[in-house]
Amino acid sequence: MISRRWVAAAAALAVTVGVAGCSDGGGAAQGGDVLTIGMPNGTQTNNQNPFTGTSSALSLGYAWAMYEPLVQVNPVDFTADPEPWLASAYEWNDDYTAFTFTAREDVTWSDGEDFTADDIAFTAELLRDAEGLNTAGLPYDQVTVDGDAVTITFTEPQFVNRDRVLSMIVVPEHIWSEIDDPATELNQEPVGTGPYTLSSWTSQAAILDVNPEYWGGEPAVPQLRYTSYTDNNALTTALSNGEVQWGWTFIADIESVYVANDPEHLQYWAAPGLAIDALFLNTQAAPFDDLAVRQALNMVIDRDVISAQATSDLFPPVTNPTGIAQPVGDPFLAPEYLDATLSVDVEGARDVLEAAGYTWDASEQLLDPSGEAVTFTITNPSGWNDYLTADQLIVDAASQLGMSADVDATTVDGWMEAIGNGDFQAMMHWTETGSTPYEVYANVMGGQYLQPMGEQATWNFGRFDDASAAEALQTYATSSDEAAQTAALATLQQVFVDQVPAIPIVVKPFAAEYSTLHWEGWPDESNPYAQPQPTGTQVSRILMELQPAGD
């Protein structure tokens, strides 16, 4: 499965496990001449748009080898200062309503045109004005250019969105200004500033070669080859036999299944953060439109078992009812929740249901107050084994309460469309991360993401609608008063605990598998210069660190 990334939707062709072994292809055959990269995201479409989550470029991650951020932000090292990238310098004002970036000199686009401050300004205006691009909901206001400096102002303070603002990628004005609808543009001849350019996209692979004009110097890796595998199992095989040298998929019993094939070179790193995997619940549809059902199910799930059986203990269980990962999130916890823990309480859950008017028939089937059987389906993509295992364990837990539940393993594109439209009852999904718990709560409860059923939502898939949560999120995001922020965060924790808009399951680290057989310089626990996944804006940073093994 993927981490915190949209997957390609309806597609024209399938890229499967056999691709990596083709005559012009795999890591084992090419050795140090190519870096092979894989993701288990199934069918792709020839879409290279860096703004739309359904594009192949974003699904597999190679967008970030072509398009670069203004600043590189490190979400796995909160002590690290953001590193200037396309911006040679940056600053923000005291209340985070204005960010100023200085355009780096001597940068060219891959088509030879100069990169300038106007490109930064154009991209910010594009995100502000073009429908469907500002998926983060940032309140852009004015954009001004003064020489090489670009100032972007916002109508509200962007304290919690600092990383998003700094990580803004830049597209060339001379190309994108001619595009009528940026949100639907396929961008099949992408032009970026990054260290690589797309040389071919076929049913066999996406191949990127070195950008000879790259401002950061020549990368050591001559060629990148990206493959989309049908599921976790297919990618696991490719990673384990060396066909893929960098990727991310959940591997059960990773030490014996993956590392043991070549303990010297097959490595992985699960970098801690604040993101979690949660059971997202549709709060606008039965049975999870009833608080009692959400509370009761939350009380019977054994997260230790899910961590062990679904993630092989790679993802630790969420232990705090606020959903805040510990110990990294301890500084954010309200005093009343600092020592709170989640534990299984079947009898307590039955009491909650009984008090809400639920009963059981002679076969111990749970009946709602109107006498209807309580049933639900958990929907996740086929092949995402960690999620599907967790789903079944949750079904088993629900059976202790007499709830009839099942698991629907569907296609990735069908799943993405369904959850965006609110056409689901329950599903496992990740949250984003950041330097505060804001993203976790906004992803689950954010009023800015709230959409009517049937209209696509980018977060708050469960359509949780609570005025106090929306107000607290707004205060936390916009206030420059530390006391007000602390009070708002305490409110968010209380709403999350009391209203159970989603059920926290396991902590979601930034995890990736990689091989050091041909390439060294990967981020790891001893050198956490970036998060290790191949699908983030830090990809260009990692690619420029890699060197041939043994050099």
Domains of the chain in sequence order: 68-177 (3.90.76.10), 196-271+510-548 (3.40.190.10), 276-507 (3.10.105.10)
Burial (CB count <10 Å: 0-12, 13-18, 19+), residue 535: buried
Spatial separation of the C-alpha atoms in residues 382 and 203, rounded to whole Å: 21
Cα–Cα distance measured from residue 160 to residue 139, given in angstroms and rounded to the nearest whole number: 13
**pLDDT tens across the length of the chain (551 residues):** 333 332 333 232 233 333 333 333 333 345 679 999 999 988 899 999 999 888 999 999 999 999 999 999 998 887 789 999 999 999 999 889 999 999 999 999 999 999 999 999 999 999 999 988 998 889 999 999 999 999 999 998 898 889 999 999 999 999 999 999 999 999 999 999 999 999 999 866 899 999 999 999 999 999 999 999 988 899 999 999 999 999 999 888 899 999 999 999 999 999 888 999 999 999 999 999 999 999 999 999 999 999 999 998 889 999 999 999 998 899 999 999 999 999 999 999 999 999 999 999 999 999 999 999 999 999 999 988 899 999 999 999 999 999 999 999 999 889 999 999 999 999 999 999 888 999 999 999 999 999 999 999 999 999 999 999 999 999 998 888 889 999 999 999 999 999 999 999 999 999 999 999 999 999 999 999 999 999 999 999 999 999 999 87
C-alpha angle 507-509-510 in degrees, rounded to nearest 5:
160
Query: Can you give the pLDDT at residue 31?
Result: 62
Radius of gyration of the chain (CA): 23
Query: Angle at Cα 212 formed by Cα 208 and Cα 215, nearest 5°?
Result: 105
Q: Which residue has the tokens 């606020």?
A: 322
pTM of the predicted model as reported, rounded to 2 decimal places = 0.75
Helix 482-499 × helix 467-478 angle, to 10°: 150
